[in-house]
Amino acid sequence: MKDIMGMMKAAGEMKGKMEAMQAELADLVVEGRSGGGMVVVSLSGKGDMKGVKIDPTLFKEDDVEVLEDLIIAAHADAKAKSEAEMQRKMAEVTAGLPIPPGMKFPF
């Protein structure tokens, strides 16, 4: 019975840590870059796009496809950074708990 009480206590503590982490992620902003920094995409920790910065030299009619590709690449870079940060924070929250590998939070 002691083990169940310990698990309940750990689950309650983890819930509080998860809520704090969710608040941190809401405030987190990561930047993804492409084209040597000519295109920068900003995402929240939850993956919402917050901004796009484009170097004015990219605004040429014949380079529209290049610009589109750079925006996609910058977004992918920012998303990867956001997900890596979320995984890092999740590892801090769940440290010491027996959670199966590959399980993603929040459920």
What would the pLDDT profile of 17-61 be if each residue is shown by its tens digit? 778 877 887 788 889 999 999 999 998 877 888 889 988 888 877
Question: Which is more confident, 96 or 65?
Answer: 65
Does some domain include residue 6?
A: yes
pLDDT tier at 2 (50, 70, 90 boundaries)?
Answer: low
Does some domain include residue 106?
A: no
pLDDT of residue 88: 83
pLDDT of residue 107: 42
Does some domain include residue 104?
A: no
Element of type H or E holding 106: none
In sequence order, which residues have a C-beta less than 8 Å from that of residue 97 and are 6 or more positions away?
10, 14
Token digits of residue 1? 């019975």
What would the pLDDT profile of 66-89 be if each residue is shown by its tens digit? 888 889 999 999 989 888 888 887
Does some domain include residue 26?
A: yes
pLDDT of residue 100: 59
Q: What's the CA gap between 107 and 98, in Å, rounded?
A: 16
Does some domain include residue 107?
A: no
The CATH number for 25's domain is 3.30.1310.10
pLDDT of residue 98: 59
Does some domain include residue 99?
A: no
Q: How many domains does the chain have?
A: 1
pTM: 0.60
Domain range for 66 is 2-93
